[in-house]
């Protein structure tokens, strides 16, 4: 493997390991073993486990597919539903394991690592803005009840999503995710 | 300290350490240092860190004050709001740190430790039942819109609460918790 592709292998393995085990339970050794590279080579590409965790968060965020929210062609609320259905599939297909890396890092690390906390904060912020954008479009299209505050509602939907994934993993069932879809699309955004 | 009080000191220190740091970042050594007891004495009272984590979860659950939900004297939805206001105070007064031990253990450990996962599942289950009970009372008192499924709604509110605490810790702000109160009590349960 060349230098660039080795970095890529390590970064991909780091994302998978952090998603599977969280920050504290993942060692640099786990990452290099999963990547099939010598342990020492990690530090040719990343200065620390934390740096690889920040890159994993960026890669995870890129996979959130915000383009599904912004690409026209479908009614706004249909796009919002498709976005969460797409994201839920990972956890549901994975035996109710994994969840959202941003939520998991937030729960585990927000109080202990300022760089990870602020990366999670920025990620949630961008995500909530995208949801708010769709809700604003929905309002303009007459799909939304007038009284709903779109900024509040976007924040709340994102929190509810993060909590539903954690509850689904604890419950090993889709019930919390199904409740999310029924309440968000059947009650709040009806 | 006698044997019983030493066990109590260790159990209380374990709860505080797990709330502050999570499971993986807490060592038995952290717990005994915080309790002011020799490291070896931990194993006179607990067979493993995991056993002390399960007891910490039970103690945390006891502090959720389900009695606030079931004690009559106030309208059901007012009791529900007071319950979450009481629980939110910890995180808000604590510089937006700490959060919910059940949610934190769920996020960090549900995929990796079957005993912790199932303890979190039972905790969430009991909690959702209590919320459902209040919603049922609210419906009987005519406080709730007729169409709401109380089981679904209870699950959803609990997920939204867990997610809001994580988002508040990542954001170091009360905004996600405030959005929770406005959407739950101003929109869903209006």
Whether B101 and B70 share a structural domain: yes
Q: Are A25 and A84 within one domain?
A: no
Long-range contacts of the stretch B36-40 (C-beta < 8 A, 24+): B36/B9, B37/B1, B37/B6, B37/B9, B37/B10
**pLDDT of res. B88:** 92
pLDDT at A62 over 70: yes
pLDDT of residue B6: 93
Dist CA A10 CA A45 (whole Å) = 8
Q: What pLDDT is stored for residue B111 in this prediction?
A: 95
Q: B40 and B85: one domain?
A: no
- Give me the residues of A, 57-96, that contact B with CB < 8 A: none
The confidence score (pLDDT) of residue A132 equals 98
pLDDT of residue A2: 64
Q: Which residues in chain B (151-170) have CB-CB distances under 8 A to chain A?
A: 152-153, 155-156, 158-164, 166-167, 169-170
| Domain CATH number, residue A13 | 1.10.10.60
Residue A109's pLDDT is 96
Residues B129 and B180 in one domain: yes
State the nearest Cα–Cα gap between B65 and chain A, in angstroms: 20
Residues A179 and A113 in one domain: yes
Q: At which of B38, B59, B80 does a domain end?
A: B59
Q: Determine whether the interchain pair A169/B124 forms a contact, defined as Cβ–Cβ distance below 8 Å.
A: no
**Residue of B23, B165, B50 whose CA lies nearest to B108:** B23
> Do both A11 and A34 map to the same domain?
yes
Give the closest of B98, B110, B148 to A169, CB-based.
Answer: B110
pLDDT tens digits along B102-125: 999 999 999 999 999 999 999 999
Which chain B residues are within 8 Å of A22, Cβ to Cβ? Answer: 24, 107-108
Q: Is the ipTM of this complex over 0.85?
A: yes
Number of domains into which chain B is organized: 2
- Give the residue-averaged pLDDT of B83-94: 91
Whether the predicted pLDDT of B92 surpasses 90: no
Q: What is the pLDDT of residues B127-171, one digit of tens each?
A: 999 999 999 999 999 999 778 999 999 999 999 999 999 999 999
Average pLDDT (A58-72) is: 94
Q: Which of residues 112-151 of A touch B (CB under 8 A)?
A: 112, 117, 120-121, 124-125, 148-149
> Does one domain contain both A134 and A116?
yes
* pLDDT at residue number B175: 97
- From the list A24, A117, A188, the residue facing B187 with the nearest CB is A188
- Which one of A26, A107, A124 makes the best mutation probe of the B interface by having the most chain B beta carbons within 10 Å? A107
Q: Are A110 and A117 in contact (CB under 8 A)?
A: yes
Of the candidates B112, B117, B166, the beta carbon closest to that of A106 is on B166
Domain carrying residue A88 = 63-188
Among A108, A159, A179, select the one facing B155 at the smallest CB separation.
A179
| Residue B105 and residue B111 in contact, taking contact as beta carbons nearer than 8 Å | no
Mean pLDDT, range B36-41, rounded to an integer: 94
Q: Which residue has the tokens 């309440």?
A: A183
- For residue B3, pLDDT beyond 70: no
Q: CB of A187 within 8 Å of any CB in chain B?
A: yes
Question: Is the same domain home to A119 and A157?
Answer: yes
Q: Note whether B41 and B85 are same-domain residues.
A: no
CA distance A4 to chain B (A): 32
- Distance (Å, whole) CA A83 – CA A70: 10
Q: Are residues B74 and B154 in the same domain?
A: yes
Kindly state whether residues B23 and B108 are assigned to the same domain.
Answer: no
The pLDDT value recorded for residue A190 is 86
Is pLDDT at A1 greater than 80 in this prediction? no
Tokens of B103: 């949610």
What is residue B142's predicted lDDT score, i.e. its pLDDT? 93
Based on the fold, state whether residues A85 and A133 are members of the same structural domain. yes
Q: What is the mean pLDDT of residues A12-19?
A: 97
Question: Is residue A3 scored above 90 in pLDDT?
Answer: no
Q: What is the pLDDT of residue A56?
A: 98
Q: Is B148 helix (H, G, I), strand (E, B) or coil?
A: coil
Q: What is the mean pLDDT of chain B?
A: 95
pLDDT attached to residue A72: 87
Residue A148: pLDDT band with limits 50, 70, 90:
very high
CATH number at residue B75: 1.10.357.10
Surface of B (12-41) touching A: CB under 8 A: 20-22, 24-25
Last residue of a domain, one of B13, B34, B59: B59
Q: Do A106 and B169 touch (CB under 8 A)?
A: yes
Rounded Cα distance between A110 and A55, Å, is 16
Residues of B in contact with A163 (CB under 8 A): 103, 158-164, 166
Alpha-carbon distance of B5 to A190, in angstroms, equals: 55
């Amino acid at each position: 493997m060349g230098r660039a592709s080795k970095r890529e292998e390590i970064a991909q393995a780091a994302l998978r390991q952090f998603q599977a085990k969280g920050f504290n339970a993942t060692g640099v050794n786990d990452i290099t073993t999963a990547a099939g590279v010598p342990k020492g080579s990690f530090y040719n590409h990343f200065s620390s486990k934390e740096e690889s965790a920040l890159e994993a968060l960026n890669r995870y965020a890129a996979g959130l597919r915000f383009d599904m929210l912004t690409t026209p062609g479908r009614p706004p609320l249909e796009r919002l539903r498709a976005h969460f259905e797409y994201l839920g599939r990972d956890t549901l297909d994975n035996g109710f394991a994994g969840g959202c890396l941003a939520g998991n890092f937030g729960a585990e690390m927000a109080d202990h690592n300022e760089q990870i906390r602020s990366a999670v904060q920025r990620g949630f912020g961008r995500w909530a803005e995208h949801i708010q954008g769709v809700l604003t479009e929905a309002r303009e299209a007459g799909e939304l009840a007038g009284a709903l505050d779109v900024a509040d509602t976007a924040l709340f939907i994102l929190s509810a999503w993060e909590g539903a994934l954690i509850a689904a993993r604890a419950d090993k069932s889709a019930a919390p995710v199904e409740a999310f879809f029924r309440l968000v699309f059947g009650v709040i955004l009806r």
